[in-house]
Amino acid sequence: MTAGQEANGQEANGARRRPKGRSPSYPGISLKTAVNRAQVIYDKEGRNQAPMSAITGHWGYRSPGTGPATVTYAALRKFGLLADEGNGNDRVGKLSGLALDILMNPDPAETVLAIQTAALLPPIHREMWDQYGHNLPSDETMRYRLVIQGGFTETGFQEFIREYRETIAYAHLLSAGSLDRETETPGGQNDDHEAEPPPADQPPPPKDRRGGVSGQTYTIPVPIIGGKPVTIEGEFPISEAAWTQFLSVLAAMKPGLVQNPELDSTE
């Protein structure tokens, strides 16, 4: 499949023309798709600056002024992957330092942290993360929050929730409970399909010498200075890669978990 076919096919689903409405600004494509688009820019332009027409042309769009082209370009800017200057179709842009960290950093932990940083850069993403964290409520609750209270159109809500779920799942910020809800049918029962293999970037669970999955659920209280222990619960042992990911997720969640003395003193 060529870049043009992909751009105008299923990857353009999130970048299709928006209906009229007043939905708040949100990325028109998921972070995973945006990173793929950034990789195309790097393959074609490296670290060099390029006009918007060239960048969108590399993605297979005939004109930088088409809806999907402008939506995709804007999404990379919202995620902090593209630094640009100028106005309209005369813009010129290049990959940001954050994009290069995601694409080229040899340290997996730092790459995950860069992806998580990009995932929460759009203001509407940060707002959702601050309110719900890694455990999203039902779609009905979020519809009330975003459509009734937040000014989203119904179409905008559906597109944004799909994009947001895909983005925080890609960044390993979505809890297992929220992932489970995504796989349920409206009746609450999982489809009777064969289970899909884990994503390529997610290591399989460790196996014992007999070939079975090894592990036991532990509840571990961790002593904390000046407070009650923080409890960690999960199945251990885990792989080295999973441990690195676990620490990266904790680091990304730090702003919501750790008190800021300077902010406290101003209250």
The per-residue pLDDT for 99 is: 96
| pLDDT at position 185 over 50 | no
Q: How many residues does the chain have?
A: 267
Compare 194 and 238 and report the one with higher pLDDT. 238
Q: How far apart are CA 248 and CA 251, in angstroms?
A: 5
Q: Residue 199 falls within a domain, yes or no? A: no
pLDDT tens for residues 112-139? 999 999 999 999 999 999 988 888 889 9
Cβ–Cβ under 8 Å, residues 122 and 26: yes
Cβ–Cβ under 8 Å, residues 78 and 27: yes
The per-residue pLDDT for 28 is: 92
The per-residue pLDDT for 267 is: 41
Q: Where a domain ends, among 165, 181, 197?
A: 181
Percent of the chain with pLDDT over 70: 68
Residue 122 and residue 44 share a domain: yes
Percent of the chain with pLDDT over 90: 41
Residue 246 and residue 173 share a domain: no
The per-residue pLDDT for 116 is: 93
pLDDT tens for residues 229-247? 777 777 777 777 777 777 7
Residues 6+ apart with CB under 8 A from 50: 41, 44, 92, 93, 94
| pLDDT at position 194 over 90 | no
Q: How far apart are CA 260 and CA 213, in angstroms?
A: 41
**pTM of this structure:** 0.60
> Stretch 99-108: mean pLDDT, rounded?
93
User: What is the dihedral sign for C-alpha 72, 78, 80, 85?
Assistant: positive
Compare 20 and 108 and report the one with higher pLDDT. 108
> Stretch 171-186: mean pLDDT, rounded?
57
The per-residue pLDDT for 261 is: 55
Q: Where a domain ends, among 160, 181, 202?
A: 181
Residue 145 and residue 72 share a domain: yes
| pLDDT at position 74 over 90 | yes
pLDDT band at 263 (very low <50, low <70, confident <90, very high): very low
- Structural domain that includes position 221: 216-258
Q: Residue 207 falls within a domain, yes or no? A: no
Residue 175 and residue 221 share a domain: no
The per-residue pLDDT for 16 is: 42
Number of domains in the chain: 2
pLDDT tens for residues 32-72? 999 999 999 999 999 999 999 999 999 999 888 888 999 99
Q: Is residue 252 within a helix (H) or strand (E), and if so which, with residue range?
A: helix 240-257
Q: Residue 84 falls within a domain, yes or no? A: yes
